[in-house]
Amino acid sequence: MKLLHYWRAMWGIIGRELWRFVTQRERFISALVRPLVWLFVFAAGFRAALGLAITPPYETYILYEVYITPGLIGMIQLFNGMQSSLSMVYDREMGSMRILMVCPLPRWFLLLSKLLAGTGVSVLQVYVFLAIAWFYDIQAPWQGYLWIMPALLLSGLMLGALGLLLSSFIKQLENFAGVMNFVIFPMFFMSTALYPLWKIKESSALLHNLALYNPFSQAVELIRFALYGQFNQQAFIFTLTAFIVFMAAAIIGYNPSKGMMMRKGGG
């Protein structure tokens, strides 16, 4: 009976998030427009400027658009993870987070379910993006479209957990602009999403190290290899570890006796 309770609650949370996503058309469109602009405009412009050597998982010379596609997939998940953190802050301000927190289930389970729900939404967004990219002649082997699924789940969970952790620190909705400036942009630009590591090393050793240890880089590499049917063990271990660390910290952040919740709220 207890397991059934967990099962129903988890699907309740996931179902609500998916339904909200499907009905909020603007959110769906804006989530797609961002990476598409990067793909159609930025990547097309940079195609001539950036020469790419053959590096795994690619077996031949590739166009810049092909290179940045996994990075843009990562971008979708990064924004989605942060967006879910935004919605958590919003939910908390509006009170619907309270309804979740007072239901008789362990808080870690509720947060994990919320995270799974957010990840589910980001996976949907990615597949729509890949479908559009396919018509733009960015086509991976068909197995890649299957292999990418577990990679997306892990990277989505990791980035979502980071968002969750941040949401436990953010006191008010307005502070989300800070997250954009101090988390999303540095994470995205200091990663392998837009340029390969060796290229970064040519210009700065420090930047190279930052990009190497940036969990977002590892998530992008996990996705990149999976899209070509390959398993990048290092990226997998790194992303999994980052997920566990972020998730544990987020659970502590939402723990009523230890976390940041204690410093919030009114009289």
Residues in contact with another protein by CB under 8 A are 1, 4-6, 8-9, 11-13, 15-16, 19-20, 23-24, 94-96, 98-106, 255-257, 261-263, 265-267
| Angle CA 37–217–90, to nearest 5 | 65
Query: Shortest Cβ distance from residue 252 to another protein (Å)?
Result: 13
Query: Shortest Cβ distance from residue 29 to another protein (Å)?
Result: 16
Of 25 and 142, nearer to another protein (C-beta) is: 25
Q: Measured in whole angstroms, how far is the alpha carbon of residue 67 from the centre of its chain?
A: 18
Per the CB < 8 A criterion, the answer to whether 73 and 131 are in contact is no
């502590």: which residue's tokens?
252
Q: What share of the chain is helix, strand, coil (3-state, %, to 5)?
A: 80, 0, 20
Of 9 and 245, nearer to another protein (C-beta) is: 9
- Name the DSSP letter for residue 104: S
Of 102 and 177, nearer to another protein (C-beta) is: 102
What does the alpha-carbon distance between residue 157 and residue 113 come to, in Å, rounded to a whole number? 10
Query: Shortest Cβ distance from residue 123 to another protein (Å)?
Result: 21
Of 83 and 217, nearer to another protein (C-beta) is: 83
Query: Shortest Cβ distance from residue 8 to another protein (Å)?
Result: 5
Of 12 and 196, nearer to another protein (C-beta) is: 12
Q: How many CA atoms lie within 13 A of 107 on its CB side?
A: 20
Rg of the chain's alpha carbons, rounded to an integer?
19
Query: Shortest Cβ distance from residue 28 to another protein (Å)?
Result: 14
